[in-house]
Structures are given as structure tokens and as C-alpha cells.
Amino acid sequence: MLVRALWHFTEKTNPIPQRIVHGTTIEIIWTIFPSIILMFIAIPSFALLYSMDEVVVDPAVTIKAIGHQWYWTYEYSDYNSSDEQSLTFDSYMIPEDDLELGQLRL
């Protein structure tokens, strides 16, 4: 297409330049039509976005996951121990040599 345009609009093949008239109608169509399509996509997306923002009033379990450099710490604040501290669990990666058949690495 670029080669065709360069060939068509060179001075050698077209010594008297043609007056190019803009197609206002087609420019309006290819501007408005994609905008309408984007609005039809955006309206359901905003409805879904706002519905996902709902906060659960009474969650069944509250878990706080803390990422460290080589392991994760999980805190279960719903299960308080006798000294009012939340139940914590550290998960370390088990080396591949220490794994038993069917055992997970965490």
C-alpha cells in the first residue's frame, strides 16, 4: 500500500496534483462507531467492577498471608490461643532430596 501511494503521488507519474477532498462522512462514521462499541463494552464492565467491590460483612475465616524472602507466614486471627495471640503457621520449601513420594513442597 505504501509503495502504491509513493508511486501514485510522485511528480513523475502525476505532474499536476489532484485536489484531495476529505470524506467527512466516513471520518465521522469511523470515529463514532468505535466509540459506541467501546461504550457498549464499558457499561457492563463498570457494573461488574462495582459489584466486585462489595465487602463481606462477616467472613467465615480471616487469613493474613505475609510473604518473606524464602517462606510464607499465615496468621489465622479467628483462632486465638490462650494468650490472645493469633494462630500462626510458617511454610518453608522442602528441599527436593527430602521429599517423599506424593508429598507437596510446602
Do 93 and 70 lie in a common domain?
A: yes
Q: What is the rounded distance in angstroms from the CA atom of residue 93 to the CA atom of residue 68?
A: 12
Do 72 and 92 lie in a common domain?
A: yes
Domain assignment of residue 28, given as a range: 20-51
Do 68 and 90 lie in a common domain?
A: yes
Q: Is residue 10 part of a domain?
A: no
Q: Is residue 29 part of a domain?
A: yes
Q: Is residue 69 part of a domain?
A: yes
At 21 the pLDDT is 65
For residues 14-53, one letter each, b for 16 or more C-beta atoms within 10 angstroms of the residue's C-beta and e for the rest, the string is eeeeeeeeeeeeeeeeeeeeeeeeeeeeeeeeeeeeeeee
Tens of pLDDT along 46-90? Answer: 888 888 777 767 778 888 999 998 888 998 877 766 666 778 888
Q: Is residue 105 part of a domain?
A: no
Tell me the pTM.
0.39
At 106 the pLDDT is 66
Query: What domain count does the chain have?
Result: 2
Tens of pLDDT along 5-56? Answer: 787 777 777 777 777 767 888 889 999 999 999 999 999 888 888 887 777 6
CB 70 within 8 A of CB 93: yes
Do 94 and 67 lie in a common domain?
A: yes
Do 68 and 47 lie in a common domain?
A: no
Nearest to 91 by CA among 72, 76, 63: 72
- In the 8-state DSSP scheme, what is residue 29? H
Q: Is residue 1 part of a domain?
A: no
